[in-house]
Structure 1
Amino acid sequence: MEGEGDKWQQCSEDVALNIPLIAEHEGSQISGNNPSNNVTTSFLKTCFNGLNALSGVGILSVPYALASGGWLSLALLFCIAAAAFYSGILMKRCMEKNSNIKTYPDIGELAFGKIGRLIVSISMYTELYLVSIGFLILEGDNLSNLFPIEEFQVFGLSIGAKKFFVILVAVIILPTIWLDNLSLLSYVSASGVFASGVIILSISWTAAFDGIGVHQKGDIVNWSGIPTAVSLYAFCYCAHPVFPTLYNSMRNKHQFSNVLIVCFILTTAGYASMAIIGYLMFGSKVDSQITLNLPLNKISSRIAIYTTLVNPISKFALMATPITNALKDLLPRTYKNNRVTNMFVSTVLVISTVIVALVVPFFGSLMSLVGAFLSVTASILLPCLCYLRISGSYMKFEFETVTIVVIIFVAIAVGISGTYTSVVEIVQNL
């Protein structure tokens, strides 16, 4: 799919090879707390963290998703949002069943034993790791376009503009990874939420007052582009691996349902608004990132582009927190609560994402594959399956059980069709 290389692009098969070590380690069983879980967070701060996890760079691609599927595909955005919200509620119910559940893999283990933990771990940590890598790629691509610099040599290695900015952004992000409680991290998240609002307002201003207008009519439906649209919409709601971390950080865990309501309503409203405005502005010619269509000679456009660079920086730590917590659980007990050791683990994680971002040559083509396969699996399919098993409702023929089963089959269909389409596009672009 042309243009996807400008997005948060992600792939890495090497990460999955290390997941079984995390899943099978005896210290990763349903027990023990992470340092971040011992700090209570208020309702408002949890909302900021949730909004930051759900919103972000995905807001740049929804106009392209709408252009791929046509106006009727907008209904799919709301359907996916509703399914993702409901699966989030199901995750909360699973956590209420056992107070020892601290992470998403814990839910998988409670439902299906070690196999469940392994499957959830592979899906969760791979997705979060790839998203984190994609953030670095996004920053490198945009900054190198804005500030082209000459290639230079460092210890015999050639460093181009893109590589330089990937490394620079990683250095800027690193201190946010060292924050080991979500109460402090909420202030970083607030900047990401604010950035999303600024992007929407800036692009709206560009449309209304800077001469572009909203004159494009677009297509009613484009059936061939529906799988791509669904994949991109699903990627917008890939924050479920973070939900257990947010839930356990809350001072009043009973309010988590209200947190989900606030977060999903606001983010879906933002996604829908941006999709409509962007499609009306540029029609079928909208790029994979709407900022690539904006005229650089307009102040409002520059504000939107520069603000876009804030989102990945603000979201990286929140996406990486479950991974760092899992890695810390692998440490001997004498080192688990050691501040220096925790900082070292976080630093190694960031360095690994930088290496993959610099080495792997084709991230963009796999973006839709990640959205169709990992996002649908981690955010919709697995929460539904785990809840049916943990609650025992799979043995009852009730309305809710039928609803969950329907969601499962639809998620499987979406995952298969989206994955097939993505693989075909990858093969064509090789």
Structure 2
Amino acid sequence: MRSSVSERSLIIESDDDDDDDHPQSQPSAAATRRRRSRRHEDGSGSDSDPGSGSDSSSPCATPRLPPTASSYTQQWPQSYRQSIDILSSVQSPNLSFLGTPTLSRLSNSFITNSFRGKTPEIISNLVKPLLRPTTSDDRQQQQQQQQEETQKSSHYLLPSRKPSLQQIPEDQKPLLVAHEVSPYQKCSYTQAVVNGINVLCGVGILSTPYAIKQGGWVGLVILYLFAVLAWYTGVLLRRCLDSKEGLETYPDIGHAAFGTTGRILISIILYVELYACCIEYLILESDNLSKLFPSAHLTIGNLTLNSHVFFAILTTIIVMPTTWLRDLSCLSYLSGTCLHVALHLVWLSHATQSVCMLCIYFRYALYLLYVPHVAPHNIDVSVAGGVIASILGVICLFWVGAVDNVGFENKGTALNLPGIPIAIGLYGYCYSGHGVFPNIYSSLKNRNQFPSILFTCIGLSTILFAGAAVMGYKMFGEATKSQFTLNLPDNLLVSKVAVWTTVANPITKYALTIIPLAMSLEELLPPNQQKYSNIIMVRSALVVSTLLIALSVPFFGLVMALVGSLLTMLVTYILPCACFLAILKRKATWHQVAACSFIIVVGVSCACVGTYSSLSRIIQNYT
């Protein structure tokens, strides 16, 4: 392990080896790193050398020493940090598809100052000649550039098992080629809050009225309890990350707590949760498109596909090519474009109605996000599109009830004990963002703000959840369906805005959600099999498998309750406490141990009850 890290460090720096032949008054940063790598290879204990990370100028509150970090990044899954950063649009290590470490800077999905402000520098690196000039002025200029690059970025880590200096053909290069953390790629408070809300406010908000129907009004207490516990366990994850050098992701925490077994098990749980989300996306698309076009069908010979099956297959055909992209940064624009086009089509079809001003307003707000110098805080378009979609859905729900005279007349039931287990799973699903929170924390400019950021994210998300739940249940009562968009009147413009927004959002999120799992599987391929054609086959197989499961279990609310009960309880409540006790048990106070024990008991109880009830209800639908 140690020797492989040293070899990779030497290989990455090989483009600067020719500078060693020229005398220098001061050793270059690259030579310093090479000497440190040799000491590390000889077992000289760079891990114990306090000065080994002194030349890193990261502004983070908690510095990370590269040698220690490599001990975690060399374990499967090596691609977790990069792939989850793309999913949440965190500014952090960049990802390049079949490219070079330099090109990887161009493929970051977060459209920020770091992307635009550094573009000239990146381009200048791309057009460097293969033969370096030999004049003394040019050599001095190159040395200055090398020192600046050393201060701005850490060393590259290749996930490939066997490094090589041989030039690899374009179609045979491995998928993930660089892992870089740069000081200028750090999230501000606002960016982190928006990222967190984008992760939390997903499709779960659509089922919150259905959760009240299942558990009654008293069930809202479960939502607030889960919110408080989710904030606390998020803070526990931060304590775990700060306990040891090199911890940056959830699998890293599992590795520190329970060794390689813990890392693998936690990674599998996180990937299964993402896989289940993709299944939910297909069911969601099928249900809502069937609402828009109920008479749609497809006849092939003697086989007739109804609207649900037809739209599930159609959605799969649409999203499958997006999973093949080498550069996912275009999905940032595709996400905003889908929402923009959907609102534009609804506006054109109802141009004579005064309510179309609602579409115009949100189209204008979305347009601002496309303009780099106008968009506040340079929020990524995909992130802003996801947050806007959630807020727009809640606004449309309120509009239908208050303006379009549907009303809020239903009183409902105070408590429905038989439905409480399903409500537990639905409410738990709303807080399934802990797999991303460590990445957000590792990418913050000021990590001391993380508890406040977490409180803001969860607080604002809970307001949206509760608002949608109360309004939806008051409007539709016992007729509430698994998604409140399915209850909206068909003849209203605002209803179509809500439905089309719901349909447009998952089209791009699907690729961002399935790719972390795909990349982890691609790591298991032999190096000579990591070709673009094989990558396409792996990802296509994953997409088709989600379609088959979505067609087999087309129950949106019950599948969500199952995922929330089984997986979210583990990721959000049980595992953070277990990892905290395993890593910091000697330093933890008695009330921290008591709180963790209480949360574990609550999480295990909810997981058992909710999983059993969800599976029972799913089986009942087949009998």
The one of 346, 365, 370 equivalent to 2:563 is: 370
User: In 2 relative to 1, CA 164–132 (structure 1 residues): closer, same or farther, beyond 3 Å?
Assistant: closer
Matched, 1:151 2:345: no
Matched, 1:134 2:270: no
User: In 2 relative to 1, CA 93–396 (structure 1 residues): closer, same or farther, beyond 3 Å?
Assistant: closer
* Counterpart residue number, 1:3: none
Distance 1:387 1:88 in 2: 11
Matched, 1:427 2:612: no
Deviations 1:277-301 (A, max 9, x none): 0111111221111111110101111
Q: Which has the higher helix share?
A: 1
Give the CA RMSD over aligned residues: 3.3
The one of 195, 202, 211 equivalent to 2:396 is: 202
Do 2:322 and 2:511's aligned partners in 1 also have CA atoms closer than 8 Å? yes
User: In 2 relative to 1, CA 123–243 (structure 1 residues): closer, same or farther, beyond 3 Å?
Assistant: same
Matched, 1:269 2:463: yes
Matched, 1:42 2:235: no
Distance 2:331 2:248 in 1: 14
Partner SS for 1:410:
helix
The one of 254, 259, 281 equivalent to 2:453 is: 259
Shift of 1:321: 5.5
* Counterpart residue number, 2:222: 76
Matched, 1:167 2:316: yes
User: In 2 relative to 1, CA 255–176 (structure 1 residues): closer, same or farther, beyond 3 Å?
Assistant: farther
Distance 1:225 1:32 in 2: 36
Which one is further off, 199-208 or 236-245?
236-245
Distance 2:567 2:326 in 1: 24
Do 2:522 and 2:538's aligned partners in 1 also have CA atoms closer than 8 Å? no
Bigger Cα Rg: 2
Do 1:72 and 1:221's aligned partners in 2 also have CA atoms closer than 8 Å? yes
Shift of 1:404: 1.3
Do 1:191 and 1:314's aligned partners in 2 also have CA atoms closer than 8 Å? no
Shift of 1:254: 3.5
User: In 2 relative to 1, CA 271–429 (structure 1 residues): closer, same or farther, beyond 3 Å?
Assistant: same
* Counterpart residue number, 1:386: 579
* Counterpart residue number, 1:355: 544
* Counterpart residue number, 1:58: 204
Alignment of 1:324-339 (within 5 A): 324=518, 326-327=520-521, 329-330=523-524
Do 2:202 and 2:386's aligned partners in 1 also have CA atoms closer than 8 Å? yes
Deviations 1:199-231 (A, max 9, x none): 001110000011210011111111111111111
* Counterpart residue number, 2:271: 125
The one of 28, 45, 63 equivalent to 2:76 is: 28
Do 2:186 and 2:443's aligned partners in 1 also have CA atoms closer than 8 Å? yes
Q: Which has the higher contact order (CA 8 A, sep 6+)?
A: 1
Distance 1:163 1:32 in 2: 28
Q: How many residue pairs get matched? A: 400
Distance 2:285 2:493 in 1: 20
Do 1:107 and 1:117's aligned partners in 2 also have CA atoms closer than 8 Å? yes
Deviations 1:167-226 (A, max 9, x none): 244147447884279999932011010011110011100000112100111111111111
Partner SS for 1:214:
coil
Distance 1:31 1:306 in 2: 33
* Counterpart residue number, 1:410: 602
Distance 2:516 2:231 in 1: 20
Paired letter, 1:413? S
User: In 2 relative to 1, CA 368–183 (structure 1 residues): closer, same or farther, beyond 3 Å?
Assistant: closer
Distance 2:73 2:470 in 1: 47
Matched, 1:112 2:305: no
Do 1:182 and 1:249's aligned partners in 2 also have CA atoms closer than 8 Å? no
Distance 2:522 2:259 in 1: 22
Distance 2:396 2:79 in 1: 47
Partner SS for 1:216:
coil
Distance 2:416 2:486 in 1: 23
* Counterpart residue number, 1:9: none
Partner SS for 1:38:
coil
Paired letter, 1:188? S
Partner SS for 1:45:
helix
Paired letter, 1:151? L
User: In 2 relative to 1, CA 332–255 (structure 1 residues): closer, same or farther, beyond 3 Å?
Assistant: farther
Deviations 1:366-417 (A, max 9, x none): 4322211111111110011001111124x86611211111111011111111
Distance 2:404 2:485 in 1: 14
Calculate the TM-score normalised by the size of structure 1: 0.82
Do 1:291 and 1:301's aligned partners in 2 also have CA atoms closer than 8 Å? yes
Distance 1:101 1:286 in 2: 44
Distance 2:225 2:390 in 1: 22
Partner SS for 1:137:
helix
User: In 2 relative to 1, CA 215–141 (structure 1 residues): closer, same or farther, beyond 3 Å?
Assistant: closer
Do 2:204 and 2:430's aligned partners in 1 also have CA atoms closer than 8 Å? yes
Distance 1:108 1:181 in 2: 33
Deviations 1:307-365 (A, max 9, x none): 111332353355345435534654678999xxx85x974x5564234212332211424
Shift of 1:306: 1.1
Partner SS for 2:197:
helix
Matched, 1:285 2:482: no
Paired letter, 2:396? S
Unaligned 5+ segments in structure 2 are: 1-71, 83-92, 95-178, 334-378
Paired letter, 1:278? G
Unaligned 5+ segments in structure 1 are: 1-23
* Counterpart residue number, 1:90: 236
Deviations 1:256-277 (A, max 9, x none): 3333122111110000000110
Paired letter, 2:486? L
Distance 1:415 1:177 in 2: 38
User: In 2 relative to 1, CA 56–169 (structure 1 residues): closer, same or farther, beyond 3 Å?
Assistant: farther
Distance 1:29 1:293 in 2: 42
User: In 2 relative to 1, CA 175–245 (structure 1 residues): closer, same or farther, beyond 3 Å?
Assistant: farther
Deviations 1:46-85 (A, max 9, x none): 3222211100211110001011111111111010011112
Distance 2:423 2:402 in 1: 26
Distance 1:250 1:407 in 2: 27
Do 2:281 and 2:510's aligned partners in 1 also have CA atoms closer than 8 Å? yes
* Counterpart residue number, 2:173: none
Partner SS for 1:310:
helix
